[in-house]
Amino acid sequence: MTNLIDNEVFLAFSTYAAIVIVKMMLMGPLTGYYRITRGAFANEEDLGKTKDKKLLRTHPDVERVRRCHQNDLENVLPFVLIGLLYSLTVPELGTALLHFRLFVASRIFHTVAYVAALPQPSRGLSYILGLLITFSMTYRVLSMVLLL
């Protein structure tokens, strides 16, 4: 391994980044599952042998999973990118772990709250928590590296 990942913060970052990216990517197969079980497809070539064009439609359950996936793209990807820069500023391990663990927990809870349509403000709060954690890491990055 290169010396870059000799430090524990970077190991922790890699671990949590990998976990939350896998969680995000699983929204793809989940969308496929809902498309098949709800019979709601986006492409004619996906209809299979039935070729029933009535299945070229949207379904609330499919759209819900897709919105959840989209929210992941909007929040998980920035977390990973900012988290990478944050790790390079070599923060204290305990502080870093607190950020990483809370973020991953908030996004797993966000997914459950979204897909299961839990009453608000459960989903809203988990979204805001994730946002604040990423902003907190961004603040550290900017205060350490600022070169405009």
Q: Footprint of its own copies on this chain (CB under 8 A)?
A: 1-5, 7-8, 10-12, 14-19, 21-22, 24-25, 27-29, 42-46, 48, 63-64, 67, 69, 73-75, 77-78, 80-82, 84-85, 88-90, 117-120, 123-124, 127, 131, 134-135, 138, 141-142, 144-148
What's the min distance (Å) between Cβ of 107 and its own copies? Answer: 14
What's the min distance (Å) between Cβ of 4 and its own copies? Answer: 6
Which residue's CB is nearer to its own copies, number 54 or number 148? 148
Residues 134/140/145/148 CA torsion (nearest 10 deg): 70
HEC string of 66-135 equals HHHHHHHHHHHHHHHHHHHHHHHCCCCHHHHHHHHHHHHHHHHHHHHHHHCCCCCCHHHHHHHHHHHHHH
